[in-house]
Structure formats: C-alpha cells, structure tokens
Structure 1
Amino acid sequence: MSLKEKAISGLIWTFAQQFGHQLIGFIVSVILARILLPAEFGLIGMISIFFGVGMVLLDGGLTQSLIRSKELDEDDYSTVFFFNLFASFVIYVIIYISAPLIGNFYDQPILITVIRLYCLTFIISGFGAVQQARLTKNMEFRVQALMTVPATLIGGGVGVAMAYMGYGVFSLVWSQIVTSVISVSQLWFYTKWMPNLTFNFTKFKDHFNYGYKLTLSNLLNKIFQNLYIIIIGKYFSAAQVGFYTRADSTTKLPVTNISNALNKVTFPMFAAIQEDNVRLKRVYRQLMQMVVFVIAPILILMAVLAEPIFRFLFTEKWLPAVPYFQILCISGILHPVHTYNLNVLKVKGRSDLFLKISIINKVITIIGIIIGIQFGIFGLLYAQVIVSFTTFFLHAYYTDQFINYSAWEQIKDLIPIILLSLLCGGIILYLDLLLVNYLDFFRIITGLTVGGGVYFLLAWIFKFNSIGDLRKIVLKK
C-alpha cells in the first residue's frame, strides 16, 4: 500500500475512531450533565491539570521518538516500555502524596480522594503506551478504531449507572478508570507484542535526547492549557469551573475530533517525507485548508445556536456556560493551525525550537492572563482568544523557515474559508431570530441543516479545493 493510500485509509479509520469515541463519550456526558451538578464536573476540572501533567511526564516524549525513528528493534520498544512503566509508578506516588496540598489549595477536601483514585490511570496507561505507538507508527488505525468503541461504551455505562445510584463525582472517576483498563487490555490483545526483559541505556539516551524537549514543551502546554481552570477554580466557585469546562469540552468536541485525527495520521506521514520540503509543504497546505474548511463552519454555527443547543442537551442549569462557549469557539478555529505549524518542527527533528516556542507562548499567555483577570472571567476568556491569534504569527514564522509557508500565505489560504463560514453564520443568526419561539430541537436541526447546506453549496460554486479533497477521502480516490 502506498503512502497516500495508507494516509487516506488512516484518515478514514482515525475519524471513525475519534467520532465513535467522542459520539459515545458525548452521549454519556449529556446524560451525566443532566444527572450531576455543574460543581461536580468542576471538581474534575480542578484536577485536570494534575492528570494532564502526569500523562505528559509518563510519556516523556519517547513514544514520539519511536514513531519518528526509521530504524528500530525490539530493544528500542522494550527500553521505552520499561521507562514508561517506571515513570507511571513514580508519578502516581508523587500525586498521591501531594493530594492533600491540592485539596487545601482549592479548599475542597473531597479532592484528596478524587485525585488519588482518578490518577490510578497513570499506572494503567503505562502498560499500553508503547503498544499504542507501534500501532500508530505502522499506521494501523483500523485496529485502534475497533478498540475505542467497547472501552468508551463500557466505561461510560459504568459512569451513568453510578451517577443514577448517587455516587456523584465518583461516577466520573470510575468511568475513566474502567475505560483505561479496557483500552490497555485491548492494546495487549491486538498488538500481540510483549517487551523483552532488556533496558538499553544507549537507546534510551537517543530517544530521551529527542523526547525530553518535546516533553518539556508539552508539559508547559498542558500546564498553561489548564491555567485558566486553576485561576477560575481558585478565585471563583466550583460551579464556574464546571461551566467553563463544559464550554471548553463542547468547543473541543469538533476541534479535537478532526484535528487530532488528522494529526495522528499526518505526523507519521510527514515523518516519512521529512526530507522533501516541496512535497511536505504541498501536503501540509492541503491538510490545513481541509481541516479548517470543516472546523470553521461547525464552530461558527454552534456558536450562533449555542443557547438552544445547551438548553436542549444539558438543561437550563447549564445556560451560564453559553457565553463562555461562544467566545471559545473563536479561538478554536485556529487550534488545528497551531498544531500543524508545530508539527513541522517535530518532523524536522527540531525539538529544541519546539521547546523555545512553547516557552515564548507561555510568556505571552501569562501577560494575557495578568491583563485579562482584571476584567473577571470574561476578561480571561477574551485574553485566550487574543493569545491564540498572537501566537499564530510566531508559529507560522518557523514554518516559513523550514518549508517556505509564511503567515501571509496561510492567511490568504484560510481567509476565504473563514469569511464563508461567517457569512453562513450570519444567515443562520437571522433565521434563528425568526424561529426563537419554536422548540429548541427544531431550531438546532433547521440551523445546522440550512447553514451546512448553504456553506457546501457556496463552497462548490466558488470551487474551494477542500471540497475535492474531502471527496477523495470519502471515496478513497
């Protein structure tokens, strides 16, 4: 199978995996949101940074090194496996000891037990990271897609059942643990791979030298991604954290589904053509336009229809999250662009620049937070949008250096897509004002159907290239 055929097949199966996982997860989340209180979701949001940091440290960037490296043997895989396993136990012990400090920081004693249980997934995940990397490196996305549904379905079912029985926040905790156990069990079953009882320090050093810079960069990213939650949790109520995390997770539903699915496939694909800058630019440009072509109208239409969507799915108690969601939709459009710009550095082996850019990004984020907090929670949200647009130019500068694709070229490629999305959003906003007295479900279906139809019709009329690219993926041609 050619690289192109592998990529198209990978995209199809990875989208199936992402959407299967997210669809089930979203349905479970909707059910749980109707049973549990925003404050209970807020408690999980408060510990998300510690969970995220632990998962970054657990990987150490070594699995990314495995995916990127062209020549590997069993010693490489076994060495990374045992490092991940050792790291998972160390990280869990640190979190376990630190739990009382975390509870005291938020003035939420229940977090001590919550975080000690929730972070058991570190150890569970440590057993499956290398198996996951092997599947990704070999572009075996069909297998990964088939594993996702049962894990998400069973884990979600456990969470819903426990919520109905009155376990509150612990229903969310055990849902995550059960999902992780089933996922890792399937990784062992499907890969049929077991480590050798070896640890090669030379190979470890090679992978570590590449991976630690990515780890530090990803660590900074994870901390700063959750910095808004930390500040909201510290200075506002648990319910406000719940509203923010609900808005953020709903925004990321289309963004992470599409951009992460593409990123999972394109990283090994980019790595395979890393020496051919002309081809790399062409493929990169095509993929970036395609993902924004899909994400931009979805986010804008969801922002326009946010009130009926939140009331229909989550009930009236979640309506305070609507303005948060609408603001976050703006910055969400650029999320995949950031990812692809930074991916160029990774495939070129410049993890040092990746780390440097991450540090600069964080300085910009801190400045934004210091200024934004003066204006309350909405100041923080608008600061997030401004920071996203500012860092775009930084990321694009280095993309221009490596594959000659400047910020101005990227803007010219993306502006028509974004303008078309805004036009359709304006049409649906006017239409929804006429339907304001109708049922929420009718408003949502009408808005999304008409908006999506107008968008694709105009894109076809104006001959947007992404229409043809999507057709090729769907039809595998």
Structure 2
Amino acid sequence: MDNLKEKTAKGLFWGMLNNGTTQILNAVIGIFLGRLLTPAEYGIVGVLTIFTAVAGAIQASGFTQGLINLKKPTEKDYNAVFWFNISVSMVLYAILFVSAPLIASHFHQPCLVEVSRVVFLCLPISALGITSNAYMLKNMMNRELAIINFIALCLSGFTGIMLALHGFSYWSLVCQQLLYITLTNIGRYYYVRWMPSLRVDFTPVKEMYGFCVKLMITNIINTLNQHYLTFIFGGLFPIKAVGNYSQANKWNTMASSTISGTIGQVAQPVLVSINDEQDREVRVFRKLLRFTAFLSFPAMFGLALVSREFILLTIGAQWLDSIPMLQILCLSGAFLPFYSLYQNLTITAGKSNIYMWCNICQILIQLAMIATLYQQGIMVLISVYSAFTVLWLLVWQMIAQKLIGIKFFDALKDTIPFMVISLAVMAATYYLTSSITNHILLLFTRILLAGLLYVLIMRLTGAKVFEECINFIFKRQPAK
C-alpha cells in the first residue's frame, strides 16, 4: 500500500511537472506566434487539426491503452502493436494525400492542397513512437516523459518562431508540428532502448483487438468531440472566425489538459494494479477525484477571470473576439479532467463497450443540438456545447457507481466544496480588483490575490489533499 501510494505520488508530481512545463512552454510559444501570425493564418492550419487527430486515433487503434491494461505485456506484444501502427499509418497517409484537393475545396482555401499533404506526414512519423510511449506510460516513466517534452518543445518552438519571423506564415506552424513529433520519438527511443523486431507476429494484436477496437472508436469520437466545431465553423463562418475559435480553444485545452494529463498518466496504471480490490479502488478513486477538483476548478475558473488581460497582453488586440469564447470554454474546461478519470476507470474495468457507447451517445446528442441551433451564431453553439459537456458527467458517474459502487453524493462531497470555494475566490478577486485599469497590474494582482485566497481557505478548512501535497513537496511525514 505504501509503495503504491509513493509511486502514485511521484507519478502525479512528475506528471504535473511534465504537463505544467509543457503548457507553459506552449503558452510562451503561442504568445510569440500569436503576435507574428494573423487569425487567418492560424485558421489555415487549425482546420486540418480534426483530420490529423482522427487519423491519429485510428492509427493508434486503442493499443496504447490496451498495452497499459495488460498486467505484464511482453516483447511480442509491443512488437506486434508497433508494426500494426506503422501499417495503418501508411494507408491513412495515402488516403489523406489523395483527399487533399477535396479538403481545400471544402474550406475554400487552395493552399490547403500543399499544406495538408505536408501536415499529414505527422501520421507516419508519430506511428514510430506509439509503442515506446505506451511502454513509458505503463511503467510510469513520467520523469523521462517530462524531459523529452521539454527538449522537444523548446527546439520545435524556437524553430517555429524563427520561421515566422522570416515570413514563412502558416508554414512555421507546420514545421513546428513535424519537428516536435520527430524529436519526441527520438527521446522515447533514447530512454526505452527498445527496437522493433523484423519477426512480425500479429497474434497479440488479434487477441487485444476486441477490446482495443472499442477504444479506437471511442478515441475517434472523443477526437471529433474536441475538434468538430472547428470543422463546422470552417464551412459556416469566415476563416477569421475559425482562427479566433482555434485560438480560444487552444488556450482552454492547454490549461485543462495540464490537469487531465497529470491524472491520466497515473490513473490507469494505478487502477489496473488494484482493480480486484473494490473497497480499495473506491478509496483511491475518491482521492483522485478530490485531487482533480483541487487543481481543476481554481485553474480553469482563474483563467476565465484573467482571460481578457491575458489575451490583450500576450497575443494582442487582434484576438479580442476570442476572449468571450475562451471564457465560456474555461467554465466547461474545468470539468474535462474528470472525464479523463471516469474514462480510465471504465477502461480499467475492461468495459470498453460501455466506454464506446457512452461517447457515441454524447457526440450524437451534441451534433443534434448544433444542427438545431447553428443559425443562432457561433457564441450560442459554443455555449450549448459547453453546458452539455458539464451535464454529461452525470452519465459517467452513474457508470462509475455500477462498476465500483461509488455513490453520487460521495462524488459531490469530494468535488463540490472545491468548486464553490474556487467560484467564491474568483468572485471576490474580481470585485476587489475591478478598479485597476492597468492591464499588466490587473493580471498579476488577480493571479496573486486569487492564489493567496485559495491557499488560505485550503489551510483554514484543513483540506486533506492540500496537506498531502504540502507534505509531499517538503518531504514531511503526515501527522499520525
């Protein structure tokens, strides 16, 4: 129990450091590129995101999660998945290469023929590292993942900025993506030191396929759920509006995925190791719920609070229209990390069919609502999408209750206090700082004041998750 607790704590620490550093670097890079490029230039690459993301989910085919879910995956398992991923990626690239003129025609942008064919090279390149990434996640090598991401982001981000400075427009974003994926793969192979064998046997793939194919379908649905608004907007609204939404969604995703990534890197490996001990599984799951709420609500509500000052000071007034979009997305973004936790629980229980159908129903209902309301405008679409994202968590909670017996009111008791405190802190901070007119002073004052108020309340209320974080950081033993 102590070993698992320590391993989980270290995994969360390095996962947080990894995701936090990644998002900070992405923010810095995004600030520079946001000032150097226009919304239309961002929109050119942004509309292709849905194609690369869906194709990426297909080529991975759920085998990353499948390998992690095995108690002790063998060399044969990893090798079979590697060659399967490579084969699928080559087929997908060929299909997308041929489809490039159709994509360009849909978005009324002739330049997308050439741009898309280069961007889609991300698929075969990324396929080379899927198996090594699964190995690192299975063994909770979060420290090594943090180092890899840091180096890859720094080098690719610097390259993208230099290209933008020299007038390469949207090509700077394309080159940044390709270089990041290449450097990430190199780093993974450096640490894993695993090389595929030419003795190809797809038997492990066949054995895992029934479980993984449902994960693949669900991953595709999740990807569509994250990116289909960009696709829809690209056909309904000017490319500038698409660029503004892409920018808002980027900042929201960067913030929420910091927490989601931290939780996701440890949730499945930890839950797999105890999935035959229901009482213990409930305790661990509830602790992860509290930790997620402790981080997610203040982070996302805080970003909504400072979004205007942040956008104006970082990427400039040309992105003013993205601010209300970002504020709405942040409110629902606070709940996205909980999706990661509930979904990992479902996968761990081997219920990939439930995982798949729950996500299918979610996106079908969302599409129906958008088809009904799209004429009301872009802000209404974003608002409806965000509200439904929050409400659908109730379905995941019902599934969790059937799987491990965690009660709805216990989940509320673990999460609602952090949400209420976070809202109260942000409201108090807003009114206390509303008289400040200088954007720089307002931004830093709000961040500092909100942070101090939140920590003070956590301290005064004796929040256990806060005390455990402090004890771990300073290596103190908890009080007996």
Q: TM-score, normalised by structure 2?
A: 0.96
In structure 2, the residue matched to 1:474 is 473
In structure 2, the residue matched to 1:424 is 425
Q: Which amino acid aligns with 1:123?
A: P
State the shift of 1:7 in Å. Answer: 1.5
Q: Which moved more, 1:220-229 or 1:401-410?
A: 401-410
State the shift of 1:143 in Å. Answer: 1.4
1:211 matched to 2:212: yes
Q: Which moved more, 1:85-94 or 1:407-416?
A: 407-416
| Distance in 1 between residues matched to 2:473 and 2:120, nearest whole Å | 39
Q: Which amino acid aligns with 2:25?
A: I
In structure 2, the residue matched to 1:331 is 332
Aligned residues: 475
In structure 1, the residue matched to 2:463 is 464
Matches within 5 A, 1:154-193: 154-193=155-194
| Distance in 1 between residues matched to 2:306 and 2:183, nearest whole Å | 36
Secondary structure, aligned partner of 1:305 = helix
1:410 matched to 2:421: no
State the shift of 1:475 in Å. Answer: 3.5
Asked if structure 2 preserves the Cα contact closer than 8 Å seen for 1:290 and 1:470, the reply is no
In structure 1, the residue matched to 2:441 is 442
| Distance in 1 between residues matched to 2:390 and 2:259, nearest whole Å | 20
Q: Which amino acid aligns with 2:356?
A: L
State the shift of 1:472 in Å. Answer: 3.9
1:28-53 Cα distance to aligned partner (Å, 9 max, x none): 11000000001111122111100100
| Distance in 1 between residues matched to 2:377 and 2:163, nearest whole Å | 36
Q: Which amino acid aligns with 2:295?
A: V
State the shift of 1:277 in Å. Answer: 1.4
In structure 2, the residue matched to 1:69 is 70
| Distance in 2 between residues matched to 1:371 and 1:425, nearest whole Å | 34
1:158-207 Cα distance to aligned partner (Å, 9 max, x none): 10011001010000000111111111112122211111222323211112
1:35-76 Cα distance to aligned partner (Å, 9 max, x none): 000111112211110010011011111121111101322111
1:418-476 Cα distance to aligned partner (Å, 9 max, x none): 111111111111123211x22x1110110110111111111221222321232244235
State the shift of 1:411 in Å. Answer: 2.3
1:119 matched to 2:120: yes
Secondary structure, aligned partner of 2:26 = helix
1:91 matched to 2:92: yes
Asked if structure 1 preserves the Cα contact closer than 8 Å seen for 2:16 and 2:262, the reply is yes
| Distance in 1 between residues matched to 2:286 and 2:173, nearest whole Å | 39
1:291 matched to 2:292: yes
Matches within 5 A, 1:391-406: 391-406=392-407
Structure 1, unpaired ranges of 5+? none
In structure 2, the residue matched to 1:277 is 278
In structure 2, the residue matched to 1:55 is 56
1:227-256 Cα distance to aligned partner (Å, 9 max, x none): 111111111111111111111111122210
Change (3 A) 1:473 1:94: farther
Structure 2, unpaired ranges of 5+? none
| Distance in 2 between residues matched to 1:465 and 1:242, nearest whole Å | 42
State the shift of 1:85 in Å. Answer: 0.9
State the shift of 1:118 in Å. Answer: 1.0
Asked if structure 2 preserves the Cα contact closer than 8 Å seen for 1:79 and 1:198, the reply is no
In structure 2, the residue matched to 1:302 is 303
| Distance in 2 between residues matched to 1:304 and 1:27, nearest whole Å | 20
Asked if structure 1 preserves the Cα contact closer than 8 Å seen for 2:346 and 2:355, the reply is yes
Asked if structure 2 preserves the Cα contact closer than 8 Å seen for 1:38 and 1:239, the reply is yes
State the shift of 1:368 in Å. Answer: 2.4
Asked if structure 1 preserves the Cα contact closer than 8 Å seen for 2:59 and 2:88, the reply is yes
State the shift of 1:109 in Å. Answer: 1.1
Runs of 4+ residues over 3 Å off in structure 1: none
